[in-house]
A and B are shown apart, each in its own frame.
Chain A
Amino acid sequence: MTVTAETSRSPAPAVARRAKRSRLLPRVAPYLQAAPLTVTLLLFLLVPILTIVAVSFWDYDSVRIYPDFVLTNYVELLTSPVTWKTYLNTLKYAALAWAATLGIGFTVAYFLAFHIRSTTWQMVLFLLCTIPFWTSNIIRMISWIPFLGRNGLLNSGLISAGIIEHPLEFLLFSDFAVVLAFVHLYTLFMVVPIFNSMMRIDRSLVEAARDGGASGAQILWNVILPLTKPGIAIGSIFVVTLVMGDFITVRLMSGGQSASIGLMIANEISLLQYPAAAANATVLLAVVLIMVAAMLRVVDIRKEL
């Protein structure tokens, strides 16, 4: 902007130069406009990631790390059966959490978008969904523990109601507890984008389908679902990446008995094994990027944004 102002004030002999400049400027301007973001991303995203990748090739002992170029971190990581088991376990959590959040998220969004007629009520109920998210997620997680415990509210309730005789042990410190916490924590990430996609659906399409003789299920399957795909994709990306990188939910809800990749990295960091943690993080990043790329392959979210 300043440049333009200056150019316009410059005297006649500078016309040739100005012409040259004005040809240059339109080409440069977009780059200049993008520069702040580029610099920010370079500094705070790319440089740290490259550092992590670089450190993943370093060597280490129990207290120090040594700049080097060794592949042992990757060899140890990829040849260990624990890694594979842990990835499998993490993927299992991701799949279960994804399926459950999708089911619940889609239902809630559908109810909000198509069954609540007044916009005011839609907003009120939507805000109601977000209320639990005003508390810290660790609090929301921990509050499950006294609820699900052996002598917790649920077990004592069931016992006094005469439904069960012995407390249900699988409720807490189990895979069930982990997935439950994930679903509780992340369903909103599914509700919001799906709700957003659904609100953009032209209601006349639904009417047209109904006039054409489609049943409710057919409308849902052939009209609403395809048009909601971008929202589902965005929600899925949120949920899957959050679950893949999580460590505290798994640790607290499994009672330290299950592993996830995030937990594995956290353990390595706590034992000063930074290069091993960096290698692990690099592999995790690659895996998550592949998963996101695959999701984007299935659904073109740009179409909707």
Chain B
Amino acid sequence: MTDTRSGSKTIGGISRRTLLKGTAAVAGAAAGSGAITGFPTIWAQNIKNVTLRQFGTGVSNLNAVADKVKEDLGFTLQMTALDSDAVTQRAVTQPKSYDIADIEYWIGKKVFPAGVMQPMDVSKIKNFDKIVPIFVTGRLTPDGAIAQGTAPHTVGFVEGKDSTKFAKAPTQWMTLIPTIYNADTLGIRPDLVGRPVASWKDLLDPAFKGKASLLNIPSIGIMDAAMVCEAMGEVKYGDKGNMTKEEIDKTLRIMTEAKKSGQFRAFWKSFDESVNLMSSGEVVIQSMWSPAVAAVRAKGIACVYQPLKEGYRAWGGGLGIAKHLSGLELDVAYEYINWYLSGWVGAYLNRQGYYSAVPETAKQNMSEDEWGFWMEGKPAKADILSPEGKVMEKAGAVRDGGSFAERMGRVACWNAVMDEDRYMVRKWNEFIAA
């Protein structure tokens, strides 16, 4: 089956491969690994037999991507989805068990210094120039502000090919090629909250006593907690993404008090838990991820991904290459990453409510109406469909939070790993056990 499929695609693939061959030849010469570029026919044959193992968090480990990559490029991509803690763990402790790591930037901050991955040569990344500047300079617009936390550009580059030290400014060596990101906020049940919600501090409003929830992944939960405490005016932070011990103590003291007074109904750890809490009405306001909001809505239950005046907590993920990858497999990995940024996946992710790292190519793969709804905050002219073809929004709907610039331009903080990580985790566990 594989043979017939890839056989029929070869004709369509030729121009693309020839093009890539050219790029690879230039880049290969530059990198000093000419082994493959000299034998283009072997390369074209061999790529069919290559299997790359990709693992990462569930968000972008999509079977549709694996199927499409098989169709377009011919090689096999095996995907494994794990939760973010397990991803970190496996990335560091079993570096031979994967070829491509699909991880978030804050995970990258933990994983990369362990020396289990290799940086990527940006000269081999065709669309590098078109990547959203957040991932390169940290600013969405030239005069935009840099958000707090582990902003992707701070861990996006290393100093050299064999370096594990993050570079202060962009270099030729990128740790993760950005693929997917979003701005997170609180999800609410507009039918049950009974009043407008406009600030992070509403999470601890006594009106929602016993009906609030927070996510229990320490490094992300602490950020939501910090957004809440800052909005309440109780704690002033130097950098929410890198708190001092006192800031951690103060934040969690407020959260512990709220917990003891019965503010929280539950803490969730996985996507489905957050969906169930919301759709069953156990919870009316909680930390949430955008596809979870979509999943609640898909059940016909009103749920809003509420923009808040303090801004968003953002996260971003990217693809990284394991250290052990070399030769043909490494070239395939580069080709895969180039393909990832070339538009099809970008459009797919945009249609799920995430953002793609190269909007320009994604746009070419989306209809004008889709682009207007997801990226420009315009009312949908027709029903908006999910990538699987299910109706996500009816005609006339407007995306919660508006356009790309409005949402990503109002990021207050990125998911982060702190210097006081170990202390924070201990305190977080105390909070959960309190």
Q: Which residues does A use to contact B, with CB under 8 Å?
A: 61-64, 76, 80-82, 85-86, 89, 145-146, 149-152, 169, 172-173, 251, 254-259, 264, 267, 269-273
Contacts and interface: CB of A to CB of B under 8 A. Distances in A.
A255 B433 contact: no
Given A63-B92, A89-B433, 7 more contacts: A81-B430, A151-B281, A255-B267, A256-B267, A257-B266, A269-B89, A273-B422
A176 to B, nearest CB: 14
B170 to A, nearest CB: 25
Interface stretch (B106-114, B229-237, B239-247): B106-114
B282 A82 contact: no
Interface residues of B, number: 36
B323 interface: no
Interface string B58-84: 000000000000000000000000010
Contacts of B269: 251, 256
B194 to A, nearest CB: 16
A272 B89 contact: yes
B179 interface: no
Contacts of B259: 257
Nearest 9 A/B pairs, CB to CB: A255-B266, A256-B267, A259-B433, A270-B85, A63-B92, A82-B430, A173-B266, A256-B216, A63-B114
B280 A256 contact: no
A89 to B, nearest CB: 8
Interface string B393-434: 000000000000000000000000100011001100110111
B423 to A, nearest CB: 11
Contacts, number: 82
Interface string B249-287: 000000000010000111111000000100011100000
A194 to B, nearest CB: 34
A273 B282 CA distance: 33
A86 B86 CA distance: 24
Residue of A76, A82, A145 contacting most chain B CB atoms (<10 Å): A82
A272 B84 CA distance: 12
Interface string B198-229: 00000000000010010010100000000000
Nearest to B88: A272
Contacts of A146: 280
B86 A270 contact: yes
24 contacts: A81-B430, A82-B429, A82-B430, A82-B433, A86-B433, A146-B280, A149-B281, A149-B282, A150-B280, A150-B282, A172-B282, A173-B282, A255-B213, A255-B266, A255-B267, A256-B268, A257-B264, A258-B433, A259-B429, A259-B432, A259-B433, A264-B429, A272-B92, A273-B422
Nearest to B277: A255
Nearest to B112: A63
A81 B430 CA distance: 9
Given A257-B259, A270-B85, A63 B265 contact: no
